[in-house]
Every structure is written in structure tokens, then in C-alpha cells.
């Protein structure tokens, strides 16, 4: 076995050097540190760098990035391992850059400063950002102030970030782009609000669209553009005129400095089409328009861009009543309308659709004047009469009181049914109220008129009792065509005899005519008046106040005389 001296002689190395090689060198204390070295040689794949240690180190050329590295260049490298199997120190330019970056990032993080970085990849929940060699995580919620659908335009573009959290031991860095935008936005907002004035015209970007309008970003502050202020013409939904991300020019309509609420308008930048509308659309004139909207109460018709009028459901058709406007017109349909009323202050125009067609009531009256006879089909039966269909799609009504001369209408109407074809006489035509009154009983002469033609007041007639009630008795006069009534107080001269129950149905009595009412077709009669008249006549014929005869003697004699005459 060779001695130490022999070994030194043979290899030229001291025992101390061999021991140091076996146990390790003090140069190994530089492992994990960043050192400055000089490029002394280049190969196809690596750069050989002298960092002042026992051995030179090898750095892959790809770690120097796009920049060229030349012999003699001074570079910072990270000592990864002391020696590899080839006896070279393993160096890393990338780790050196990362260490440098961490030192600088920690400094900026502690000072609350922004850092520059580049989004270069996607990971679960967010993105990776290159911060001058250090890789940071950008959560998806921290990319922008509002959700971003497409991040492609932000990729590979240097931009500022705010460091939210750093953990060097784990190598974790969390950054936020949103924090930078919010800070910038706050600055812009303060400046914008300070200089904001009503009437000011600004450029903005549509940020969000709702049913009632759109929110426009004015550069740090949002304003509401209500749907009614987008355009002069009717817009049912803001999406018909706007898109998210669209740049628009708006005017500040109202600004509340306390609440910082901003109301915007677009239509205010255009001429108001309602100016001079009364001269353009005089009442009674006809125009072509387009149906823009249909509601339960009518349809809106656009006469020109920004000017609409309402055709109320009552002005849509002469004959179609109680029908939804959508069954008469359709959206986007071109129609002819007549101007009925214009209110420029309230920005309202009332239009009529039916006025542009002939009025069927006028046509009916011209063809069927009052007194003429018509024929039609029973369309409907109600508690107050019959509705009869006429030419032109209109109806006329025969009231209960015009169905029969001598029978109650409630009784007669039961004899009719729908689809019956009936004849009637035209009694009245009211074009404005769109009403036609018909009569069925008027087709024949009123029997009361003929029967009562010879009847005079004060005349004595023979009646047959048809009904008794608490108020008096119903009677038929003559052949029965006339109906009469004798009130309870007119049944007798003496109060004790004024009792309806004294009389029986079918019994005949004489009475005097008090009045003939041709409207109610009733004759008022009185037994009392007849008795008083007979008494006066008897007094005149059979006695006087100074004859000495009693009233009973006089009346008895008068009754005997009357009986003899009758026999």
C-alpha cells in the first residue's frame, strides 16, 4: 500500500487536496446563490461560464432567451449544483433571472408598487403571468373589472399588475390586473365627475343592457341611457339599437352630484320630429303608416321616424266590437289612418282606422230610411230584446216593448230562437251612436188605436172584469181589445163599498171613461163617477130641494124608472 508521500509523488496532488475532493470543497457553499461570471466559450448548445470557482459552469443557450450571448459577456447565473458527472458546475441563467426577479418583486410588493408582466398561458382558475422571470398566478376574477369573454387580446402584451400575495418559500405569487384598472378608473372617475355638466356630449361604451335601458361607461363612471332616450322612434328593447361594447355618443341629461347618478340621452343629439307636428298632420287628413306595436287597447302606427299615433280599439272597425286589435291588424303592416286629434304638448296623436272606410250605418240609413221594412236573422237574444243581423255586418235591436201590441215582451221573446229569420220595421237610426231601433209589432196597426178611436171621455161603457187586486180591478172594454182599470177609490161613491173583493172575474159592470192614455194603451174608468152622474140626473128629473121628497124616494123612483125602461 502506497504511503501519503508516494501518492503525492505519483499524482502531483497533496493529501489535503484528495481529502477535500472526497469530503467536499468550500466552493460548494456557493450552491443556491447568484454569481456573476464571464462567458469563456460557446458550444452549439451551451455557454461555458467562469464564475471564479474551481470549475467552470455550463449554461444552456436557450436560457438566454432571444438575445445573443458572446464570449467575454458578463452574465449573472445561479449555481445549481457544484459538479456534475463531467466535473462542471451546473449553472442556470433562468434561475438567476428568477432570483433577481423575486428580489425586485419583494421590494415592489413591500412598497405597494405596480409591476409589469405578460400573460402567457392558461391554467385552471386563471392565467400565468411572466414577471421578468418569475411566474405568477392571475385568478380569472382579477383579470378585469367586469367578466371578459375573450382574453386573447390581453395575451402576450406587457401590462401593469398589482401583487396581492407572495410566498417565496413556496414560490407562489398572486397578481391582479383588476386592482390596477379600479385604481385608474377611480382617478378617471374623480376627474370626470369634477368636470361633468348637464348638456355635455361624451363618448362612451355600452357596458350592460337591461329591459329598461343600457349602462354606458363614460371612462371610469357609468351613466344610464333609458330606453325612451335612445331614439325618437319607439324601441321595445334596447338591444334593438345597441350592442355591448358599442361606442356611442351621448348627452348628459341630468346629473346628481350627491348621488352621482347620471342620466344620458342619444335622441337629444337629433332634431325632435314632434316640432310642428300639428301642421304636418292636420285633423281629418289621411296618411299611410306602419303598425309598430299592438296592445290590448289598440295599435301604435308610425307616421314617420319618431312620430307614432294610437289607433284605439274603438276606432279600428265599424262592426268588429270587443275583439283584440291583433285580430284586425298585424305588426309591420302598412295601413291607412285618419288623424282624429293631435296634442303636441303630450306628444300624442289619435288615429282612426275605420274612418278610412265607409260607415255602414250611413249606408244602411240611405238604403233603409225610418219606416221601411227589413228582414234579418236573429243573432242574439237578451233580457231586453232581440238583436237582428242586417246588411253591412251591423245589428239592429227590437226591444221587448216592440215585439207585441197586446202581450208582454217577456212572454213573446220566448217564442224566438237564434237564426230565426224575422221581419221588422226601422224605427230609428242613430249614426253617431251606431244604433238601429227596430220594431216587430209595428208591422201591424195598433188595435188599441182603432178600438179607442170612438171612445170619449165621460162616455159610459160596459166592462167585463178580468182581474182583481188590492189596488182595484182590471177590465176589458167593449169587444175586449181595450184594457181598462178602475182604481179602488173609483169603485163606488160610498167608501164602505170601495172594496175590490166585492167583484168577481167575469162579472160585467158599467163605468164612466175618465181618460184614454194612448202611450200606455190603458183606459181609466170610474164606477163612482157614473153613480154621481146618475144621482145628479135623478135629482134633476124627480125632485128638487123644496119638493119635500127625500133622496131615497128620489133614487128609488129613478131606479124603478130605469128598471121599467130596461124591461
The Cα 398–Cα 379 span in angstroms is: 12
The four Cα atoms 256, 257, 261, 264 give a dihedral, to 10 degrees, of: 70
Instruction: Out of 2.40.50.140, 2.130.10.30, 3.40.50.620, 3.20.20.80, select the CATH number for domain 196-269.
Output: 2.40.50.140
Structural contact between residues 530 and 509, judged by C-beta atoms closer than 8 angstroms: no
Q: Given this model, what pLDDT does residue 9 score?
A: 37
Please give the grid coordinates belonging to residue 556: 128609488
pLDDT number for residue 340? 95
pLDDT at 23: 36
* pLDDT for 20: 43
pLDDT at 548: 46
- Which CATH topology does 112-181 take? OB fold (Dihydrolipoamide Acetyltransferase, E2P) (2.40.50)
Q: What is the largest CA-CA distance in the chain?
A: 204
Res 286: pLDDT = 94
Long-range contacts, 369-375 (Cβ 8 Å, 24+):
369/426, 370/426, 370/427, 370/428, 370/429, 371/425, 371/426, 372/425, 372/426, 373/423, 373/424, 373/425, 373/426, 373/443, 374/423, 374/424, 374/425, 374/426, 374/438, 375/421, 375/422, 375/423, 375/424
CB atoms within 10 A of CB 292: 16
Q: Given pLDDT bands bounded at 50, 70 and 90, which one contains residue 214? A: very high
Give the residue with greater pLDDT, 422 vs 257.
422
| pLDDT (mean) for 523-535 | 85
Q: What is the per-residue pLDDT for 58?
A: 73
**Cα four-point dihedral sign 379, 380, 381, 382:** negative
Q: How many angstroms separate the CA atoms of 283 and 306, rounded? A: 19
Fold match between domain 196-269 and domain 360-443 = yes
Res 68 pLDDT > 80: no
At residue 405, the pLDDT reads 81
Mean pLDDT score, 398-421: 89
In this predicted structure, the answer to whether residue 483 has a pLDDT above a threshold of 90 is no
Higher pLDDT, 49 or 23: 49
Rounded Cα distance between 49 and 58, Å, is 6
**Three cell numbers, residue 475:** 177590465
The SS3 of residue 380 is strand
Statement: residue 30 has pLDDT above 70: no
Three-state DSSP class for 283?
Answer: coil
Q: Give the residue extent of every domain in the chain.
A: 24-109, 112-181, 196-269, 281-356, 360-443, 455-542
Asked which of 17-21, 56-60, 254-258, 535-539 is least confident by mean pLDDT, the reply is: 17-21
Cα 233 to Cα 195: distance, rounded to the nearest angstrom:
32
pLDDT average, residue stretch 305-312: 91
**Domain spanning 455-542: which superfamily?**
Nucleic acid-binding proteins (2.40.50.140)
Alpha carbon 410 to chain centroid, angstroms: 46
* pLDDT for position 305: 85
399: β partners = 385
- Full-model pTM: 0.46
Contact present, 214 and 226 (Cβ < 8 Å) = no
Residue with cell 322612434: 233
Instruction: Tell me the C-alpha distance between 57 and 81, whole Å.
Output: 10
Q: What is the pLDDT of residue 19?
A: 38
Q: Exposed, middle or buried, 388 (CB in 10 Å: 0-12/13-18/19+)?
A: buried
289 by Cβ neighbours in 10 Å (0-12 / 13-18 / 19+) ranks as buried
Q: How far apart are CA 367 and CA 390, in angstroms?
A: 12
Classify domain 360-443 at the CATH superfamily level: Nucleic acid-binding proteins (2.40.50.140)
Gap between the Cα atoms of 130 and 159, Å rounded: 11
Map 355-370 to HEC letters: HHCCCHHHHHHHHCCC
Task: Report pLDDT for 83.
Answer: 60
Residues 6+ apart with CB under 8 A from 494: none
Three-state DSSP at 408 gives: coil
Residue 197 pLDDT grade (very low, low, confident, very high; cuts 50, 70, 90): confident
CATH number belonging to domain 281-356: 2.40.50.140
pLDDT given for residue 52 in this prediction: 66
pLDDT number for residue 319: 85
Q: What is the mean pLDDT of residues 541-558?
A: 54
Q: How many CA atoms lie within 13 A of 85 on its CB side?
A: 0
State how far the Cα of 283 lies from the Cα of 271, in Å rounded to an integer.
Answer: 24
CATH 1.10.645.10, domain 24-109, yes or no: no
Decide if pLDDT at 288 tops 90: yes
Per-residue CA distances from 428 to 206, 368, 377, 437, 498 (Å) = 64, 10, 19, 5, 45
Predicted pLDDT of residue 24? 43
pLDDT at 12 > cutoff 60: no
What's the confidence (pLDDT) of residue 380? 92
Model confidence over 155-185: pLDDT tens digits?
888 999 998 988 877 778 899 998 888 887 7
- Residue 8 pLDDT > 60, yes or no? no
Q: Which of 84-98, 180-194, 337-351 has the highest mean pLDDT?
A: 337-351
Mean pLDDT of 366-381: 92
Confidence of residue 358 (pLDDT cuts 50, 70, 90): confident
The answer to whether residue 437 scores a pLDDT higher than 90 is yes
On whether the CB atoms of residues 350 and 309 are closer than 8 A, the answer is yes
Q: What is the pLDDT of residue 1?
A: 41
Q: Is the dihedral of CA 377, 359, 292, 263 positive or negative?
A: negative
Q: Is residue 414 scored above 80 in pLDDT?
A: yes
Residue 5: predicted pLDDT: 42
How many other CB atoms are found less than 10 A from the CB of residue 115? 21
Q: Is the pLDDT of residue 353 over 60?
A: yes
Predicted confidence (pLDDT) at residue 132 exceeds the cutoff of 60: yes
- What is the C-alpha separation between 143 and 161, in angstroms, rounded? 10
- Rounded to the nearest integer, the mean pLDDT of the chain is 81
Least trusted range by pLDDT, from 409-418, 483-492, 517-526: 517-526
In this prediction, residue 33 carries a pLDDT of 64
pLDDT of residue 94: 64
The beta-carbon contacts of 233-238 under 8 Å, at least 24 apart in sequence, are: 233/292, 233/302, 233/305, 233/306, 233/308, 234/292, 234/293, 234/300, 234/302, 234/308, 236/293, 237/211, 238/209, 238/210, 238/211, 238/212, 238/213, 238/214
pLDDT-derived band at 11 (thresholds 50, 70, 90) equals very low
What pLDDT is recorded for position 553?
A: 54
Residue 542 phi/psi, 5-degree rounding, is -120, 0
For residue 324, name the pLDDT band (cuts at 50, 70, 90).
very high
Amino acid at each position: 500500500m502506497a504511503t501519503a508521500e508516494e501518492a503525492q509523488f505519483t499524482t502531483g496532488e497533496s493529501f489535503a487536496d484528495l481529502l477535500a475532493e472526497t469530503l467536499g470543497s468550500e466552493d460548494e457553499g456557493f450552491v443556491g446563490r447568484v454569481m456573476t461570471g464571464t462567458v469563456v466559450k460557446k458550444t452549439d448548445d451551451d455557454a461555458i461560464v467562469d464564475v471564479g470557482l474551481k470549475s467552470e459552469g455550463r449554461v444552456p443557450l436557450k436560457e438566454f432567451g432571444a438575445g445573443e450571448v458572446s464570449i467575454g459577456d458578463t452574465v449573472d447565473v445561479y449555481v445549481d449544483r457544484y459538479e456534475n458527472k463531467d466535473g462542471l458546475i451546473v449553472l442556470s441563467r433562468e434561475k438567476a433571472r428568477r432570483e433577481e426577479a423575486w428580489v425586485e418583486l419583494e421590494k415592489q410588493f413591500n412598497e405597494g408598487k405596480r409591476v409589469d408582466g405578460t400573460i402567457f398561458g392558461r391554467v385552471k382558475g386563471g392565467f400565468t403571468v411572466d414577471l421578468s422571470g418569475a411566474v405568477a398566478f392571475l385568478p380569472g376574477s382579477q383579470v378585469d373589472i367586469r367578466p371578459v369573454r375573450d382574453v386573447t387580446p390581453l395575451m402576450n402584451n406587457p401590462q401593469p399588475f398589482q401583487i396581492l400575495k407572495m410566498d417565496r418559500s413556496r414560490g407562489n405569487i398572486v397578481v391582479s390586473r383588476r386592482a390596477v384598472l379600479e385604481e385608474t378608473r377611480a382617478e378617471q372617475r374623480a376627474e370626470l365627475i369634477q368636470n361633468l355638466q348637464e348638456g355635455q356630449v361624451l363618448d362612451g361604451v355600452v357596458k350592460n343592457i337591461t329591459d329598461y335601458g343600457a349602462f354606458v361607461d363614460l371612462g371610469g363612471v357609468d351613466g344610464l341611457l333609458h330606453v325612451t332616450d335612445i331614439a325618437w322612434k319607439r324601441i321595445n328593447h334596447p338591444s334593438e339599437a345597441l350592442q355591448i361594447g358599442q361606442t356611442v355618443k351621448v348627452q348628459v341629461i341630468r346629473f346628481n352630484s350627491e348621488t352621482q347618478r347620471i342620466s344620458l340621452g342619444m335622441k337629444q343629439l337629433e332634431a325632435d320630429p314632434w316640432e310642428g307636428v300639428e301642421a304636418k298632420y292636420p285633423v281629418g287628413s289621411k296618411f299611410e303608416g306602419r303598425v309598430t306595436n299592438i296592445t290590448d287597447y289598440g295599435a301604435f302606427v308610425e307616421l314617420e321616424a319618431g312620430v307614432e299615433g294610437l289607433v284605439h280599439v274603438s276606432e279600428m272597425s265599424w262592426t268588429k266590437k270587443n275583439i283584440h286589435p291583433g285580430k284586425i291588424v298585424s305588426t309591420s303592416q302598412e295601413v291607412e289612418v285618419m288623424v282624429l286629434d293631435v296634442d303636441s304638448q303630450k306628444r300624442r296623436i289619435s288615429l282612426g282606422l275605420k274612418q278610412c272606410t265607409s260607415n255602414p250605418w250611413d249606408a244602411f240609413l240611405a238604403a233603409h230610411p225610418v219606416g221601411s221594412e227589413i228582414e234579418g236573422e236573429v243573432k242574439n237574444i237578451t233580457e231586453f230584446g232581440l238583436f237582428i243581423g242586417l246588411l253591412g255586418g251591423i245589428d239592429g235591436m227590437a226591444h221587448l216593448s216592440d215585439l207585441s201590441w197586446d202581450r208582454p215582451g217577456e212572454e213573446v221573446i220566448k217564442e224566438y230562437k237564434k237564426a230565426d229569420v224575422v221581419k221588422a220595421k226601422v224605427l230609428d237610426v242613430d249614426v253617431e251612436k251606431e244604433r238601429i231601433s227596430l220594431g216587430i209589432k209595428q208591422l201591424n196597426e195598433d188595435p188599441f188605436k182603432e178600438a179607442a178611436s170612438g171612445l170619449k171621455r165621460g162616455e159610459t161603457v160596459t166592462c167585463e172584469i178580468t182581474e182583481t187586486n188590492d189596488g182595484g180591478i182590471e177590465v176589458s172594454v167593449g169587444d175586449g181589445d181595450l184594457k181598462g182599470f178602475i182604481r179602488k177609490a173609483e169603485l163606488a161613491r160610498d167608501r164602505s163599498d170601495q172594496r175590490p173583493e166585492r167583484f168577481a172575474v167575469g162579472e160585467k159592470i158599467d163605468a164612466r171613461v175618465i181618460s184614454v192614455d194612448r202611450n200606455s194603451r190603458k183606459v181609466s174608468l170610474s164606477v163612482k163617477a157614473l153613480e154621481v152622474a146618475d144621482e145628479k140626473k135623478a135629482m134633476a128629473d124627480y125632485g128638487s130641494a123644496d119638493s119635500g121628497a127625500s133622496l131615497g124616494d128620489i133614487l128609488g123612483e129613478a131606479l124603478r124608472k130605469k128598471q121599467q125602461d130596461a124591461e
